[in-house]
Structure 1
Amino acid sequence: MMRKLLMFTVLLVPLAGCYDQTEVEQQSYVIAIGLDKTDDEGTFRITFQAANPEVGSTLSSGGSQEEPRETVTLEGNDLIAAKDTANSVMTKQIALDHTKVVVVSEELARSGEFLRIIQAATRTTELRRSVQIIVSKENASDFLKNNQPLLETRPHKYYQYMLTRATQTGIIPESEIHRFFQITEGDADAFLAIYATTEQTEPKETGNEDQYIAGEIPVEGGNPTQFMGSAVFVEGKMIDILSGQETRVANILDDTMDMEALYSTFPDPKDKRYRIATNFSKDRPTDVKIEYHKNQPTKINVTIPFTIEVVGVPSLVDYSKNKENRKLLEAYIPKLAEEQANNLVKKTQEQYKTDIFYWSLYIRKYFTSIDEYEKADWNNKIYPNAEINVDYKLKQLYFGKMIDDSNLGEVRD
């Protein structure tokens, strides 16, 4: 009898692990968090946008009229503690496990107060380190309320698809919270966050596909939200905005960034009225070599091996079979890419006094301790005075499936 009782007691032990479980329908999953500045120092406007897991799922009925999201804004001193206050109006237990983005207003990001409130993300186990940081031109609360996707009503899927694709094309950077603290606490380099807005400013009169920042893209219809460019953070404070083109260049030069093939255009060297459309791909890692000399300018040599596929030549100039034109194009493309890269490097050296490419990783091997590395001062001494050479190596140039373009004279005859 005692043996049976003992076995029964032992079998009850594994069941005790389920006593405090919370069912899915009992939780409110916050997908996006918004952070805004207030007039009172140390107080912030915090917005929680929670997804309705039943909307868009196979379990929901076709005639369901439930909202796909619930958005609540309140004032508080701490990001994590504010979620308990939010439960005064949100019926379910708030969970941050599935949070995709933290949206911070540009006003808060430039004030330098952002670092104070986001510190809670490093201590809590509720918020994942893979959460992306987005800087919005307007208040974060307005951004979250005005963002109304038409084809993807589920907010968690919207941010997942939108950010993944935009990052792959290079028009926005990868801006995980983990990377933010890694760079900020490393006392070197600048951090790039995603720049976005739901407010359409005066569209630029001239501009190519990536020479915009969010809000300037001349788009009609669809969701008003635009993701383009990046916000530059130095020592936890926003100091500038990069265009989509500059962000692409930064992603190419920074080998820690994951970027796939991207489409871009550049002026036709034979006819400046037109632009040649290409598919740029970097199949091999960016090669960064640093020669550090204590009492001399440091030399940084960066080599980018790349491949170009020409997908459109509106001028109809023969670059595929004409050897002279082909050689011209092969020399022209790397030269133009190097010019764009050198302009951005010069901007970071003269204006930012630090780099946005995470090149400090390659110089640390010259120092035996952290103290020695910090005394050398990458931000103020080494990088601004460095001699930097960027070299684009064109490995292959090809012209897609068609060698010849249409003969315009014969078509119009």
Structure 2
Amino acid sequence: MRRNGWALVGVLAILALAGCGERQELETQAFVSVIGLDQGEQDHQVNVTFQISNPQVNTTQSAEAQKEPPSDIVTITAVDLLSAKELAQSSLSREITFSHLQTIIVGENLAKGDLFSHVIGSAIVDPEMRREAVLIVSKEPAEAFIHANTPTMETRPHKYYEFMEDNWRKTGFSPVSNLNTFFQRTEGELFLAAYATTERDSVGTKHDDEYLAGEVPQASGDPVQMIGSAIMQKGKMVGTLNGEETRISQLLRKKNLIETMTTTFPDPLNENYRISLIMNQSAHTEIKVNTDRTPVKIRVNVPVQVKVNSNIALEDFTTSQKRRDALKNTVKENMEQASDSLIKKLQEEYTGEPFVWYATARKNFWTVEEFEEFDWGEKFKKADVDIDYEVSIVSFGEQLRPPAFKKLKEGK
């Protein structure tokens, strides 16, 4: 028994120590936080840009790294992402790792071709490639975007993109898009990726959410603008949606990822002004799809709650039911008109929808094969879509009490 006991202790010790064989020190690793992908000069080649975080910046060791940049940026031309990762070791002393990778930026030129889906599809076999990584399409080459993105308030690249993703959930200007969702919708459904640029394209003044990245009239500040979305279908980019269309696309989904969003509508009591409202959803969007008729009938009910955020015209809505109804009808009519315009655009230009309505339609079929034969994309192009917004006003603002409105307007 004593001999067997010592043998058991020996086996357990070997098993415990064997786990240290693959141990790596943090100081020997180069942590890639951002990857950029661009079309190479030759066919079937890609330019891969690695943004490697400096772990000493903004840490307790920052005093030792005051003159060091927050990140190192290296671009390698190769046939795929993993080959570029290996080639990058020819100039980097530390071993590259994707364990902290959070963001993948794709240049629009590459995103519009067939090569992108092959490159990203082959790279996912690397166990370090995180499917939660955010996918962003840049108007310019991803390499130029990464070099130009030098935010003033945040030096750490991984934190910058993390904070931007949090902002998307609060504004809805960009979709919360990641690799996992991208791979789920590569068969034909439309997938929305965040759209960004550091370039400027002056188009004049629009309403607050009708801009696309690069169009927001910005005089100074950080160079990057992220608003709107890139439409991806079958693994490549086929178009764009502006900020308003992106917001509506998320509201029309069964489960909306936007927490709240601030937008403006025409003031129903004074056509010279617009009224600012904070909008969120009181419940999930209700979607019903009738596939037994031709054309397919789709009914969508969107419950929204609004709060008055800024009332520039100083109109009093609290003491008049008629005025409250006018405001409610204005929100309802404008949202339904904007939604109908988006549906028309998608039906005329694309074969598919980004609202995940196909998941509801699929429940009407016994097998996947039956649903595939149904050809949802083509059926959607001719579908009869009825969208109804249920608007409830929960607050008229707290800055001014109703009696103060009349005094201000009369100059008292």
TM-score by length of 2: 0.94
- Give SS of 2:381's match: coil
Residue in 2 aligned with 1:259?
258
CA distance in 2 between partners of 1:4 and 1:313 (Å):
81
Does structure 1 conserve the Cα–Cα contact (< 8 Å) formed by 2:261 and 2:278? yes
Does structure 2 conserve the Cα–Cα contact (< 8 Å) formed by 1:112 and 1:238? no
Residue in 2 aligned with 1:394?
391
Q: Deviations over 1:7-55 (max 9, x none)?
A: 3553243022112201111111101111111231111111011111111
CA distance in 1 between partners of 2:247 and 2:93 (Å):
43
- Offset of 1:120 from its aligned partner? 2.1
Does structure 2 conserve the Cα–Cα contact (< 8 Å) formed by 1:174 and 1:257? no
Q: Deviations over 1:139-190 (max 9, x none)?
A: 10000000001111011111101122123310000111111110113x3x20
Q: 1:63 to 1:362 in 2, by over 3 A?
A: closer
CA distance in 2 between partners of 1:221 and 1:343 (Å):
33
CA distance in 2 between partners of 1:290 and 1:408 (Å):
52
- Offset of 1:58 from its aligned partner? 2.7
Residue in 2 aligned with 1:192?
192
CA distance in 2 between partners of 1:411 and 1:11 (Å):
87
Q: 1:167 to 1:113 in 2, by over 3 A?
A: farther
CA distance in 2 between partners of 1:117 and 1:351 (Å):
27
- Offset of 1:259 from its aligned partner? 1.1
Identity %: 35
Gap runs ≥5 in structure 1: none
Q: 1:360 to 1:62 in 2, by over 3 A?
A: same
Pairing partner for 2:71 from 55, 69, 74 = 69
- Give SS of 2:363's match: helix
CA distance in 2 between partners of 1:85 and 1:62 (Å):
30
Q: 1:181 to 1:257 in 2, by over 3 A?
A: farther
Pairing partner for 2:137 from 104, 110, 135 = 135
Question: Which runs of structure 2 are paired with 1:108-257 in the superposition (5 Å)?
Answer: 108-185=110-187, 187=188, 189-202=189-202, 204-257=203-256
Q: Deviations over 1:188-229 (max 9, x none)?
A: x20101000011222x21212211111111112221011010
CA distance in 2 between partners of 1:36 and 1:409 (Å):
57
Q: Deviations over 1:69-127 (max 9, x none)?
A: 00000101111121111111122110111111111111111123211111124322111
Does structure 2 conserve the Cα–Cα contact (< 8 Å) formed by 1:192 and 1:356? yes
Letter in 2 for 1:373: F
TM-score by length of 1: 0.94
Does structure 2 conserve the Cα–Cα contact (< 8 Å) formed by 1:330 and 1:397? no
CA distance in 2 between partners of 1:213 and 1:72 (Å):
29
CA distance in 2 between partners of 1:9 and 1:302 (Å):
63
Letter in 2 for 1:190: L
- Give SS of 1:111's match: coil
Q: 1:207 to 1:89 in 2, by over 3 A?
A: same
Residue in 2 aligned with 1:305?
303
Pairing partner for 2:36 from 27, 34, 37 = 34
**Count of matched residue positions in the alignment of Structure 1 and Structure 2:** 408
Letter in 2 for 1:26: T
Letter in 2 for 1:305: P
Q: 1:4 to 1:383 in 2, by over 3 A?
A: closer
CA RMSD of aligned residues (A): 1.8
Residue in 1 aligned with 2:271?
272
